[in-house]
Amino acid sequence: MRPSIFRPARVFCIAAVCLGAGLLSGCAAPERLPDAQYNLSESQSLLLAPEQRLSLTYEGADDTRCPDNARCIVAGRVAYRFTLRIHNVAQAFWLVPGKPGFTSPALRGARVELDRSFDPPARGMIEAKPASYPVVLNMYGT
């Protein structure tokens, strides 16, 4: 039998691979966020994952729809502004009825979108927009 000078190196490599696999399994990404439906008012925040300080804030809505007492060339739309925060990092995004939702790595594979049955409040007259723009959104784990 021939002595091998590589035997200690092989044992070291196997030990390093096992140790690395153990560390990675301990540092695996947290569980996915649960499927849920949220009813939010303007400036309301949700704490989605306290251990990561992951929160979602509904900032408000921008309404460019044509008022009831006006004639417009373009119908306009309602766009809802949100801010996703994880630790000290913030990411702003918009949700628009009938458009695809929003995904981010911070959401752990989940997707946020407006509820399909949700109808925005009526636009009203030029002088008076709706007092508030509540929103209903769904979060789906993918």
Contact 54, 86 (CB under 8 A): yes
Going by the DSSP 8-state scheme, the letter that residue 77 receives in this structure is -
Predicted confidence (pLDDT) per residue in 47-72, tens digit:
888 787 889 999 999 988 888 888 88
What would you report as the CA-atom Rg of the chain, rounded to the nearest whole angstrom? 25
Q: What is the pLDDT at residue 4?
A: 52
Model confidence, pTM: 0.71
Ranges of residues in the chain whose predicted pLDDT is under 70: 1-30, 126, 142
Contact 54, 106 (CB under 8 A): yes
Structure-token match 């900032």, residue found: 59
Q: What is the pLDDT at residue 34?
A: 78
Q: Per the structure block, which two tokens stand in for 65?
A: 């729809």
